[in-house]
Chains A and B, each alone.
Chain A
Amino acid sequence: MRSLKWITLLLSVVCIFCSAGCASKQSAETAATVTVWHWMTDREPAFQELAKRYEAKAGIKVDFQLYAPSDAYSQKVRAAAQGNTLPDIFGILGEKRDFSSFIKAGFILDLTPYMEENSGSWKNNFFAKALAVNEFADGNSYGVKAGFYGVPIDIMTIQMLYNKNLFKKLGLNPNKPPETFQEFLDIGKKLKEAKMQGLVSGWGEVWMIDCLANNYAFNIMGEKKVIATIRGEVPYTDPDWIKVLSLFKDMQESGVLANGLVTMINKTAEQLFANEKAVFAFNGSWCVNVYKGMNPTLEYGAMLPPAASSNYPMAIWGGAGSSFMVNARSDRKEEAVKFLKWLTDRDQQAYLSEITNNLPANKNSLNKIPDILAQFAKGMESATHPNLWGVSEYSVVIETLDKGIQSIIIGEKTPEQVAAEAQKMKEREMAKKRR
């Protein structure tokens, strides 16, 4: 019966630990605390520091809680919405359609009154495009009342990068990156001869393909036609779309794409570019921090994707990098809004930008950013973003298109086949009469 004593001992330890867990939970909630859930691992130390400063200044404790990776974070937010346990401040990752669902379900506070007060003083601090990502315009197709529902805390753009050192090795001018698509393809020939790897990017993660394809779509047929396609007025089998899809085939054949691109995750792509194993990269402005950590001596520049057509301007994706929303059902809404105002103020934005090498969302905080980041910032002028268009494409159609592009790159399907498949999927979804 000695073992019985052991078991009893263990059981009592279990019970003590369990009750200890309960106690700590309750004590944290009695103090007036604003709870923030975020997924940005890289900014956690910066956030903690800012929370300390805010507490010293305003006397309110801000509890930043990190849940990574972002997939898990999204799941947690959804589960919490279901269980009605959302925190005071949180972010919504993903498409605008999900954002609109959260708003319509009553989880997100309408920030328009706060933005507009004092003749829009808060609103005017931001880059227009950064704020627009969190805005729903009049007559938007999601059925959401017009207004601002989120606060951007940084901006980012997604552009192409090139390695200046490797350019020199190839005999190219490191200060003149390719401007036309044909120039880009020609470099591919040189890469094949020199046996070097060309473009790396996280094209295993489908959305990155979508980004580039979309950029070229804007370039070839113009914004209006792209949006008309999403609305269902123009089919994907339109010759302009086939042109867009064929670009990928051309890139693959010219040798300007790196091997293994179709299953590459972005982290691997970043690692390859940082270690000078690839000449080009397609990545977002967050990469500045990543490359610095892996290879501070890397010499590289940013450029727009080389234009395939001169009919319309080249577009890139840009806008708010990360945004926070306020829980409409929270008891501490007012404190939450006050905190977000402080967080997006000039000094705090400058601090964040400096520590994390990201672009600030506040126009007035652009004091000292590294040169390479400035190149990214310049790209904001040509930037667009799916969240700005007022309509969203069906996810299954996007998946069909992007996986189809992967098939084009590995030579399994033709652009025409992929276009037809995408159009079929689109018609199927439209017939369903979604809410």
Chain B
Amino acid sequence: MRISIRDTLENYAFVLPALIIFSIFYIIPFINVFLYSFLDWDGIMRIDSSNIVWFTNFTEAMTDKIWWQSVWQAGFITLIALTFQNALAFLLAWACDREIRMKNFYRVIFFIPPVLSEVVVGLVWKWILDGNYGILNSWLVSLGFPNLVKDWLSDPNTALTTLAVVHCWKGFGWGFLLFLAGLQTIPRELYEAARVDGANAWQSFKKITVPMMVPVTVLVMILTVLGTMQIFALIYTMTGGGPGYHTEVPVTRIFASMRGSSRFGYACAQGIIFGVILMIVSFIQYRFSKKAKA
């Protein structure tokens, strides 16, 4: 059945508002950023042909050891988030899925970390983790583990992992919600039937829960990767990227280029490279998820 011109125009009208806003507020600035990445520019001076350096910014970023270290470090945090954070979220969701009291109470409590502003989270955790006066260390001592006391945020061996843990703490609320929703829609009858057939808890988990949770899990994974790779405010307020370069991530590097060295063009090039990396990762995830669903 051929679609009439009038029909097609009507259909376009549905996406028109979104398209207009998107084109103006995303596409145009994006083109700008894309063009700036070919310039050696400080963001202030008038631009003329002498600013054009073509791909120099890109080659410099690709060979910048610190840049790739920051990408790897963000990847490290993301790995921890994918495993620890999502495992925690899933466990909590599973625990709340059972018929226990105070389920709604927990649902609200677990969503408080995402709601809190980064300022509060940074301040409070810095205070808790402080090497000299933080309560974490004083608890460890009073519990009898003085040798576990560390300078959590300043010790190069622990800083990155500590930050990853704080990030997971702030983020698991969303995963918890999504997993809980997923679990709650698995029909109870399936579990009943399995029990009647003599399956134990582990078997019903493996045969019923896991397959039905795959789509939700994929959704959570994709969102986790996208969100965690772009981590910035938490790192900036808690360690500033230090000690040394141990907790630098791509966004803090871009920020440093823009602000510290006034290398606006270079910052844009870094941003574009970062975007391409994210696209590749998301694409791989998407393909993987299609296979898993099948």
A interface, CB within 8 angstroms of B: 71, 74-75, 78, 81-82, 94-95, 97-98, 101-102, 104-105, 107, 197, 204-206, 258-265, 268, 277, 394-396, 399, 403-404, 406-407, 409-410, 412-413, 434-435
Contact = CB atoms under 8 A, between A and B. Distances in A.
A75 B259 CA distance: 8
Contact of B244 (A104, A394, A406): A406
Q: Indicate the member of B40, B42, B45, B242 with the most A CB atoms within 10 Å.
A: B242
- Which of A71, A258, A394, A403: most chain B CB closer than 10 A? A403
Given A268-B126, A277-B133, A403-B245, A105 B155 contact: no
A75 B239 CA distance: 21
Closest 3 CB pairs of A and B: A395-B261, A262-B243, A260-B154
A35 B156 CA distance: 46
Given A97-B42, A264-B154, 6 more contacts: A263-B153, A277-B133, A399-B260, A406-B243, A410-B155, A413-B244
A413 B159 CA distance: 17
Contact of A396 (B126, B242, B259, B261): B261
B43 A82 contact: yes
B240 A263 contact: yes
A261 B154 contact: yes
B56 to A, nearest CB: 9
B262 interface: yes
A407 B243 CA distance: 7
B46 interface: yes
Interface in B110-149: 126, 130-133
Interface in B234-254: 238-240, 242-245
Contacts of B154: 259-264, 410
B133 A399 contact: no
B44 interface: yes
Given A204-B242, A265-B240, A435-B50, A81 B44 contact: yes
Contacts of A105: 44-46
Interface of B: 40, 42-46, 50, 126, 130-133, 151, 153-156, 159, 238-240, 242-245, 256, 259-262
Contacts of B43: 78, 82
Contacts of B44: 78, 81, 98, 101-102, 105, 107
B259 A260 contact: no
A52 B132 CA distance: 47
Contacts of B42: 97-98, 101
A305 B155 CA distance: 26
A205 B240 contact: yes
Given A197-B132, A261-B154, A265-B240, A395 B45 contact: no
B31 to A, nearest CB: 16
B208 to A, nearest CB: 40
Given A105-B45, A204-B242, A403-B244, A259 B132 contact: yes
B242 A406 contact: yes
Contacts of B245: 403
Contacts of A268: 126
Given A98-B44, A260-B154, A277 B239 contact: no
Nearest to A71: B259
A395 B245 CA distance: 15
A395 B258 CA distance: 11
A101 B126 contact: no
B261 A410 contact: no
A40 B50 CA distance: 37
A395 B260 contact: yes
Nearest to A275: B133
Contacts of A101: 42, 44-45, 262
Given A277-B132, A410-B155, A262 B242 contact: yes
Contact of A403 (B46, B238, B242, B262): B242
A104 B126 contact: no
B243 A263 contact: yes
A265 B131 CA distance: 14
A258 B132 CA distance: 9
A98 to B, nearest CB: 6
Contacts of A406: 242-244
B118 to A, nearest CB: 13
B12 to A, nearest CB: 23
A74 B260 CA distance: 11
A204 B244 contact: no
Residue of B43, B44, B243 with highest tally of chain A CB at under 10 A: B44
Contacts of A104: 45
B269 to A, nearest CB: 15
A85 B36 CA distance: 21
B70 to A, nearest CB: 12
Contacts of B244: 262, 403-404, 406-407, 410, 412-413
Nearest to B239: A263
Contacts of B133: 277
A394 B159 contact: no
Contact of B262 (A260, A263, A264, A395): A395
Nearest to A399: B260
Nearest to A405: B244
B153 A260 contact: yes
A105 B156 CA distance: 42
B259 A74 contact: yes
B258 to A, nearest CB: 8
Contacts of B156: 410, 412
Which of B132, B154, B238, B260 counts the most chain A CB atoms within 10 A?
B154
25 contacts: A95-B262, A101-B262, A104-B45, A105-B44, A105-B45, A205-B240, A206-B240, A258-B132, A260-B130, A260-B132, A260-B153, A260-B154, A262-B243, A262-B244, A263-B154, A265-B240, A395-B261, A399-B256, A403-B244, A406-B242, A407-B244, A410-B155, A410-B244, A413-B244, A435-B50
A263 B261 contact: no
Contacts of B240: 204-206, 263, 265
